[in-house]
Structures are given as structure tokens and as C-alpha cells.
Structure 1
Amino acid sequence: MMLALEMFRSLPRHLAARAVAGRVPGILTGPAAPLRLVNIEEPRVHRPGWARLRPRLSGICGSDLGALSGRTSRYFSGLASMPFVPGHEVVADLIDDCDDLPAGTRVVLDPVLACAARGVDPCEACRSGATNRCDRITVGHVAPGLQTGFCADTGGGWGAQLSAHRSQLHPVPDGLGDEQAVLVEPLACAVHTALR
């Protein structure tokens, strides 16, 4: 068992958060929030290429705040599976060996749950290297979810452990501290946007 912050579906809490977020201090972390501290099962790894990770640091992204405050479009509800443990900006230590990465390796996470992670044949976007445009994020052996931190099966950085596929893991150089490494994912998003 492990402790984790878990986002869960509650229409009354979603509406309350949406109505008063930003005006009532603590509403997004108090008893009316759609977030709770829970004791849940540790993630299990059932397929080759997957490993468990122990987060060192996890960021709080605007998408996390949007989900908590009820500001995320309901249009995207099919791209997440509830309940889930938020946290996709992660620097972590591998608990298990994962293909060429030995246990203990410090890694950052590319959170997209694309074709390789889902165990399905690559779609056109994944074949071209544009995994951020994967069109199979609701199929395969992983619950629907655009990315880690919005998927019931993987956990997220706001828990004591999470699981990830080798395609999502990037070793962190020794010279890069945890405080810098946790910014790799948001900086990659910013650079990608600027270059487009």
C-alpha cells in the first residue's frame, strides 16, 4: 500500500470548485475538492518494457490546476480515466530494471501514453516520431488517458510510486539536479511551441 493524492469524479465537487475557485482560499485542497489523500495499492508491472518509479519531485502543471478547479473542458473527459493520481512533470528513480536502464537510474518522464506504451501497432503519428499526436490514446492494455497523471492504470508523480513504459523514460545526466530535471517536460512543451 502507498499514499497518493487521487483525483476522483464528483459532479458536485467539480461544480463547487468551478464556481468558487480563486475566490475561496483552500477550496481546491479542502474537503470540497475533487482530490483526496488515499492509501492505494502500489502499481504492478504486468508487461515487458514497463517499470515502477519512485518520484523524487513532481511538478504542479496548469493542466493539473485546471482539472482541480473544474476549468478543464468536459470535452476532454474521455481522454482521462478516473480515479487517477495526478503528476506528469516527474523526476524519479527506477525501482525495477527496464530494458537497458538498471534499477536506480534517475529518469525524467515523457508523459504521453502513445502506441508503444499501449502495446499497439504504431499509428501514423507515432511512426513519424510525433507521439504527442498519437491517435490511439484510448486503446490497448492501458486505461484511456492522454498521459501519465491522467490515467487510472499508471499512477502519477503525486503518489509514492508510479509505472511507466521504457518509451517514456529518459536518463538524467549526473550534472543536472532534481530541481532542474523536473522542468524538462514543461520546458520541452515550451520549446516545441516556440519552434512551431
Structure 2
Amino acid sequence: MKALQFVESIPRYLITKAAGAIYRPAFWGPLAMLRYREVPEPTLPGPHWVKVKTRYGGICGSDVRTVLLQDSPTLSVFTSFPFTLGHENVGVIAEVGPAVKGLKEGDRVVVEPLLPCATRGIGEPCEFCRRGEFALCQNFAAGQLAPGLGIGYCTTTGGSWGPYFVAHQSQVLAVPEHVSDENAIMIDA
């Protein structure tokens, strides 16, 4: 499958950053960090996971800042490379892990992108996850997944700028029938 991926390359970063300062299209040109390329389809990392076929992948301000090299994921311990961008999403469940409850193939869903303790298979959640403050999780670089703050910044999960990505059942929300895909993408679960 083909997807838009952000690759790790210090030479590309330096060239794109310098060229982009005088010629903005350098950020998505042939030497850019953003590449449209063949990638493996993500597989379910565990029994409580689903595979989602992307219908819409949104473009968030953080995506734009990543492409324009205004945020520096290369310096972050909360990113794994290469990663398929896209954390705002709407899709249809294409595969269900054997332990998933309440979700089935064909369900239209949006996915909360954060990858806190529960998604990483960490048995004893950190103090923030215990309080439901998942954005402050202390384990974004630990557990059974590659480092990544969320879907779209983690090599294990893929992202919605590709045809498929995977999500833990705790992240998945069914979209009511009366809500269109165009409106559902705005949920940013």
C-alpha cells in the first residue's frame, strides 16, 4: 500500500529547512522529509486491536507544522520513524482482534489518537492514566508499541494518511448513522 510518511534523515532535514526558507514548496518536494511511498500494511499488535480502513484523514495544525519542520519530531522521544502521518480520522473497521468487544468489521468509527498505558499493554497504568489524564501519560515511549505520542507518530500503528491504520479498542468510537463522514472527521476524538 502507499502512504504519506515522514522519514528520518538529518541531511534531508537540513536541506529542506534551508531550501524551505526561500522556496516553500521544498517542504513537499523531492528532497523533503514527507514521502509518498510503498509501506507495509499495519498488523494488529495484540488481541484488543482493530484495523481501520481510512475514509478520511484530516490535516491538523500539528501535521502542517511537522511537514513545514516547525515542530521537530526528530528530537522527540515520543516519535518513531518512519511514521505515517494522520491522527484525525474517520474509517471503517476492516479487521477485529479476537479479544475485542462491542466492535465489528464494517463499523464506521473515529479513533482517539493518543497511545497511553492501556494501548501499550502496560499492566499497571501510570498515575496520569489512572486519573484519566491520558495526554500526560508517562509511558509514550514504553510498552509493546514503538515510541509515539499517538497514531500518526508511531511506526506500529500507521496513520490516516495511509489506507489503513490500527487502533486499540479503548480508542475507538462508533460514528452514529446520522453523522456524515465530513462531520465525523471534525470530531478529532
TM over 0.5: yes
CA deviation digits over 1:24-82, x for unaligned, max 9? Answer: 24222210210111112111114111111101001111211222222114685211000
Q: CA deviation at 1:21?
A: 3.1
Structure 1 match to 2:181: 178
1:109 aligns with 2:94: no
User: Retained in 1: the 8 A contact 2:8–2:74?
Assistant: no
Q: CA deviation at 1:15?
A: 2.1
| 1:31-50 map, 5 Å | 31-50=30-49
Distance in 1 separating the partners of 2:112 and 2:27: 26
CA deviation digits over 1:102-125, x for unaligned, max 9? Answer: 111111111000111000021111
Consecutive unaligned residues in structure 1, runs of 5 or more: 189-196
Structure 2 match to 1:148: 151
Structure 1 match to 2:8: 9
User: Retained in 2: the 8 A contact 1:108–1:171?
Assistant: yes
Distance in 2 separating the partners of 1:184 and 1:77: 26
Distance in 2 separating the partners of 1:57 and 1:175: 17
| TM-score using structure 2 length | 0.91
Structure 2 match to 1:194: none
Q: Supply the AA of the counterpart residue of 1:104.
A: G
Distance in 2 separating the partners of 1:46 and 1:74: 23
Q: Secondary structure at the match of 1:132?
A: helix
Q: Secondary structure at the match of 1:42?
A: coil
Q: Secondary structure at the match of 1:12?
A: helix
Distance in 2 separating the partners of 1:119 and 1:171: 23
Q: CA deviation at 1:92?
A: 0.8
Distance in 2 separating the partners of 1:71 and 1:101: 38
Over the matched positions of the two proteins, sequence identity in percent amounts to 39
Structure 2 match to 1:99: 101
After TM superposition, where is structure 1 displaced by more than 4 Å over at least 4 residues in a row?
none
Distance in 2 separating the partners of 1:144 and 1:133: 15
Q: Which moved more, 1:78-87 or 1:98-107?
A: 98-107
Distance in 1 separating the partners of 2:78 and 2:115: 11
User: Retained in 2: the 8 A contact 1:5–1:38?
Assistant: yes
Q: Secondary structure at the match of 1:94?
A: strand
Q: Which moved more, 1:10-19 or 1:85-94?
A: 10-19
Distance in 1 separating the partners of 2:95 and 2:114: 20
Structure 1 match to 2:63: 64
Q: CA deviation at 1:3?
A: 1.0
Q: Supply the AA of the counterpart residue of 1:101.
A: L
Distance in 2 separating the partners of 1:75 and 1:6: 14
Structure 1 match to 2:29: 30
Q: Secondary structure at the match of 1:21?
A: helix
Consecutive unaligned residues in structure 2, runs of 5 or more: none
User: Retained in 1: the 8 A contact 2:58–2:89?
Assistant: yes
Flag the 1:164–1:31 CA change in 2: closer, same or farther, 3 A. Answer: same
